[in-house]
Amino acid sequence: MSKSGPVISLREFRRRRQELMDMMDENCIAILPSARVMSRNSDVDYQFRQDSDFQYLAGFPEPEAVLVIIPGREHGETILFCRERDPEAERWHGKITGPERAMQLYGLDDAFPISDIDDILPGLIEGKSKLYYSMGANHDFDGQIIHWVNSISTNQQSGSRPPGEFSHLGNLIHELRLFKSKQELEVMRHAAHATAVGHKALMELTAPGRYEYQLEAALLNGFMMEGARSPAYPSIVGSGENANILHYTDNDAELKEGELVLIDAGAEYQCYACDVTRTIPVNGKFTEAQREVYEIVLAAQLAAIDMVRPENHWNQPHEAAVRVLTEGMVRLGLLEGDPAQLIEEEAYRKFYMHRTGHWLGLDVHDVGEYQIDGEWRVFEPGMVTTIEPGLYISEALKDVPARYRGIGVRIEDNVLVTRSGNEVLTSMIPKSVAEIEAAMAVG
Ligand code: GLY
Ligand code: MN
Ligand code: MN
């Protein structure tokens, strides 16, 4: 069965470039390079992943490309430099689009071979008052920008003028990226669907004696069978005490009877990320102690999700999660004292040391400001955030009740802000104790 899912249309890419141009000053130019191919070893490269800002504006999937935007340019406002077609190279490495076809296929006004960029780009920069560029993201390209600008400066006697002002292009693009369009949400829903297929297959496979990487294989198979060609970040499959290592990716331990396993994994589809965590019992049934901890994290997550709605600010979900978690920690005897005081002292950080969410989109930790003028940002429809509280009770903590030691739980979903509140994009993945136990009983 072949799979095809939603894609971002040419019209939408054009609309994004227009929106960017509407934000730019008069008489300016924006320059944006593609990602580079990275060497893995010898003749082997890492799988190519397009730069997210470049992808957002150009939709062009190749390396060695540069997008240039010049609002009001008579011969075309959007210009792409890219590799020329080369039958011999294409025989070895696959198809190259080439400038002529790229122009048509990606709805751009003009296109040139990347090998001509040194001859053409200084002429396009010259005379512009302002250059928009994201300095610091690509050191090689930073050097080239400086070189092109210098080449104009050295010709100043002959009347050439370099831009008088430089501005960070990312700041403009990132504000656009924060608000997801209808098409973006369709793509993100498909990433969530592929993620769900992977997580459910994993739940069926999980049993004592399996290895963490075998669970990872079930995830990847599920993602790819639904058209997501890669995970959005290295999958975390941490059983037992490994769940308490926040960025664990070794994934090489054997699953043991009576343990929990924490899975933080999401598919990337059309460059859009999904980011989901579930924590499940290796043998399919939560123990009483595991369930006690799990129910607290789940209550915290639901309380936090409830705070995701227009008018509320960015930190309210975190505050709600911390409140429910801290009260729960006191009930379990992990902390002692008055919850309000413990929150004030940040005592919860012994068991909950990260924040409750982050923006989600083309990047798993997506772009977009969390504060404006020192104040937490207010939620608006179209924003997508993760909500991911957890409790991590390391075995090493000898001063906590023995029955909870070695338990690590995180629950993470992806939440869209809507006009009336929110929508959980990943709600089809089993989450309650009863849902998880039922999904695991299938295997
Ligand atoms: N998977 C990374 C995160 O949850 O933020
Ligand atoms: Mn995650
Ligand atoms: Mn996350």
Q: Which residue has the tokens 């009863």?
A: 434
pLDDT at 2: 46
199 C-alpha vs ligand 2 centroid, how far in Å?
A: 13
Positions annotated as catalytic residues are: 43, 247, 264, 275, 354, 358, 365, 388, 392, 410, 412
Atom of ligand 1 nearest to the CA of 275: 1
Task: Give the tokens for residue 148.
Answer: 């092109």
In the chain, the amino acid numbered 217 is A
State the pTM of this model.
0.97
For residue 414, give the ligand nearest its CA. Answer: 3
Strand 130-132 and strand 28-33: the pairing is: parallel
246 lines ligand 1 (CB under 6 A): no
pLDDT at 153: 81
DSSP 347: G
> Which residues on adjacent β-strands are paired with residue 57?
none
Rg (CA), the chain: 25
232 C-alpha vs ligand 2 centroid, how far in Å?
A: 10
Q: Which residues surround ligand 3, an ion (CB under 5 A)?
A: 275, 386
What's the distance, Cα to Cα, between the start and end of the chain in Å? 23
Atom of ligand 1 nearest to the CA of 277: 4
Measured in degrees and rounded to the nearest 5, phi and psi for residue 131 equal -115, 120
CB atoms within 10 A of CB 145: 18
CB atoms within 10 A of CB 6: 16
CA distance 320 to 404: 23
216 lines ligand 1 (CB under 6 A): no
- For every residue of 113-160, DSSP letters joined together read EGGGHHHHHHHHHTT-SEEE--TTS-HHHHHHHHHHHHHHHTTGGGT-
- Are the C-beta atoms of 100 and 123 separated by less than 8 Å? no
CA distance 85 to 95: 8
CA distance 186 to 388: 22
pLDDT tens digit sequence for 67-117: 999 999 999 999 999 999 999 999 999 999 999 999 999 999 999 999 999
CA distance 430 to 51: 33
Distances, alpha carbon 37 to alpha carbons 50, 64, 265, in Å? 9, 9, 24
Residue 109 CB burial class (10 angstroms; 0-12, 13-18, ≥19):
middle
Distance of CA 300 to the CA centre of its chain: 23
126 lines ligand 1 (CB under 6 A): no
In the chain, count H helices and then E strands.
13, 21
Q: Which residues of the chain have pLDDT under 50?
A: 1-2
pLDDT at 157: 67
Q: Which residues contact 333 (CB under 8 A, 6 or more apart)?
A: 400, 401
Kind plus residue range of the DSSP H or E element containing 300: helix 288-306
CA distance 292 to 159: 75
Task: Give the tokens for residue 157.
Answer: 């006697």
Distances, alpha carbon 79 to alpha carbons 19, 54, 373, 419, 422, in Å? 16, 13, 35, 37, 38
pLDDT at 3: 63
Q: Which domains does the chain have, with CATH numbers?
A: 10-175 (3.40.350.10), 178-442 (3.90.230.10)
CA distance 443 to 145: 56
Closest residue to atom 3 of ligand 1, CA basis: 275
pLDDT tens digit sequence for 188-222: 999 999 999 999 999 999 999 999 999 999 999 99
275 lines ligand 1 (CB under 6 A): yes
CB atoms within 10 A of CB 288: 7
